[in-house]
Structure 1
Amino acid sequence: MPFSSMGSASGRCRCAIVLIAACAYVACASASNDCKKPLYLTFDTGHMEVAPLVAEILQRQQVRVTFFAANERTKQGDGSLGDYWAPWWRARAAEGHEFASHTWNHTYWRSDAGDAQHPTFRVRPSAGLREGQSFVISAAEYCEEITHAADRLKAITGKAPLPLFRAPGGKTSAQLIASAKACGYAHVGWSPAGFLGDELPSETASNTMLLNKALRDVRSGDILLAHLGIWSRKDAWAPAVLEPLIEGLKQKGFCFRTLRDHPDYAALAAQAR
């Protein structure tokens, strides 16, 4: 075959590949534009026992979520961001989920301890070497807590986490949020109806009650919150509620997107690629 003919065939092949990629992009964009009632399902880490089940349900339902991760104690392995769970996180990245920091030691803000010029914070981590202790850290040290988890997520998954974080318990102050913003992170809470209740006692908040409440109250644009296992809850939430909830919300015309597509965070999220 003459060289010119080979080049022509190669060129046609390249054009075909480009055309296929372009069509795929348009199809994805169209699907995104067709989402008229978006919801943003998010998961914080926990004891991780239900993590495999959660992943199975999300894959079956073709729902992409945003995971906020801290290195919490787990029922199996060396922490939720340890080597034991690293393959699980890599698999979620391959499926197209997004990630963000939940602070490295699941560090709760308790109060502001400094002033606006020299912000410091009294904190209490629920994991790590200083678990359960209350102490004061600087704004820079709090930023290190956020960044440590984000860096570990990137090292595990090979994917840049979103420049977002969620403070444990959603507990913050204006100074804390401003300090995090100064080091490149926006705080993400959840919508009032988006609190799915998996942290509540089973005795007073049954899975049936939580499912019905969410199906009744969730509205378009809500950020939903659940966990990858709660130590204190006797009747595990995810096995009973997650799939019926997703199916019920889909039947109501809702669709699911990650926080990369949230209008409040999309511009910032575009930096994480």
Structure 2
Amino acid sequence: MVLVAVGLGPAWADGCFDTQGKAGKPVYLTLDTGHMGVAPLMADILNKHQVKVTFFGANERTQTGDGSLGKDWAPWWKARAAEGHAFASHTFDHTYWRADVGSDQFRVRPSAGPSEGKESVWTAAQYCAEIAKAGSRLEELTGKKPLPLFRAPGGKISPRLLAAAKTCGYEHVGWSPAGFLGDELSSEAYPNDQLLKKALRDIRSGDILLAHLGIWSRKDPWAPAVLEPLITDLKARGFCFATLREHPRYQTWIAQQSGQAPAPAAK
């Protein structure tokens, strides 16, 4: 068992600025969709600790309901929007890039939807449409325009894929080395207490963190077991949580695509 130092920490009034306007040490927690079995509990923890995250949404198969972006989960997404979270595309059918083909095509394989598990070759325009479809669905569910960002499933990308996506208005978001929180790993080989200890040891200011709203293969779920101690310990050490809207790498791009002034960076 990992003993976690829990304390009140600074009182964050707005993102990563405290009540006196002093900036903290930002980290950017991002949550990809999954089977959604732990999504309600994770949302409760985020709300309890007033942590804002960026959700990357794909319409994945779920333990209950009609897919993570389906109508059964619409109230859940609407509630997250009301809490002030940010949203971005994870490709609609959780479509993996497999290889570049020729000068402007890609071999892909969706892990959800009608073509689940089937490889095909897409043009850059088709891949862009797949990103946009998830964004449009998130906007329908949340009533908020998603960020002009996307995350490729598995983080599988190529320079050519990134260039194609950027041409149609999407910047890719990966994660920091220490930000891989390990919820996709075997719980037998990587138990929760070990993953928590590693994250608390290695995470640094500015890191983008990655976890999921449920992983089918993990027998002992990472969330919500690790989520709350991770939040409380980081906050006690002066870290704060911001969305990618405030990330210095992406804020200018987001502003350019939306025609607005950049949000203040959480530096």
Q: In structure 2, what is the equivalent of residue 212 of structure 1?
A: 197
Q: In structure 1, what is the equivalent of residue 139 of structure 2?
A: 154
Q: In structure 2, what is the equivalent of residue 257 of structure 1?
A: 242
Amino acid at match of 2:187: S
Q: In structure 2, what is the equivalent of residue 39 of structure 1?
A: 27
- The correspondence for 1:144, drawn from 129, 139, 159, is 129
1:251 Cα deviation after fit: 1.4
1:157 Cα deviation after fit: 0.9
CA distance in 1, matches of 2:69, 2:174: 21
Listed as ranges, the gaps of 5+ residues in structure 1 are 1-26
1:155 Cα deviation after fit: 1.0
Q: Would you say the 8 A contact 2:18–2:24 is kept in 1?
A: no
Q: In structure 1, what is the equivalent of residue 7 of structure 2?
A: none
Pair member with larger Rg: 1
CA distance in 1, matches of 2:151, 2:160: 15
1:231 Cα deviation after fit: 0.2
1:199 Cα deviation after fit: 0.1
Matched, 1:49 2:37: yes
1:34 Cα deviation after fit: 2.4
Q: In structure 2, what is the equivalent of residue 110 of structure 1?
A: 98
- The correspondence for 1:166, drawn from 138, 151, 169, is 151
CA distance in 1, matches of 2:211, 2:96: 18
Deviation per CA, 1:170-217: give whole Å up to 9, x if none: 000000000000000000000000000000001110000000000000
The answer to which structure has the higher helix fraction is 1
Matched, 1:65 2:50: no
CA distance in 1, matches of 2:33, 2:23: 27
CA distance in 2, matches of 1:170, 1:28: 30
Q: In structure 2, what is the equivalent of residue 195 of structure 1?
A: 180
SS in 2 for 1:240: coil
Deviation per CA, 1:90-128: give whole Å up to 9, x if none: 10000000000000000000110121xxx1000110000
Amino acid at match of 2:164: S
Q: Percent identity between the aligned chains?
A: 68
Q: In structure 2, what is the equivalent of residue 10 of structure 1?
A: none
Q: In structure 1, what is the equivalent of residue 224 of structure 2?
A: 239
Listed as ranges, the gaps of 5+ residues in structure 2 are 1-12, 261-267
Deviation per CA, 1:130-156: give whole Å up to 9, x if none: 000111100000000000000001111
Q: In structure 2, what is the equivalent of residue 13 of structure 1?
A: none
1:239 Cα deviation after fit: 2.2
SS in 1 for 2:224: helix
CA distance in 2, matches of 1:267, 1:151: 22
- TM-score normalised by L of structure 2: 0.89
Q: In structure 1, what is the equivalent of residue 64 of structure 2?
A: 76
Amino acid at match of 1:40: Y
Q: In structure 2, what is the equivalent of residue 9 of structure 1?
A: none
CA distance in 1, matches of 2:240, 2:191: 25
CA distance in 1, matches of 2:132, 2:88: 10
1:252 Cα deviation after fit: 1.5
1:236 Cα deviation after fit: 0.4
Amino acid at match of 2:28: Y
Amino acid at match of 1:127: A
SS in 2 for 1:84: helix
SS in 2 for 1:130: coil
- TM-score normalised by L of structure 1: 0.87
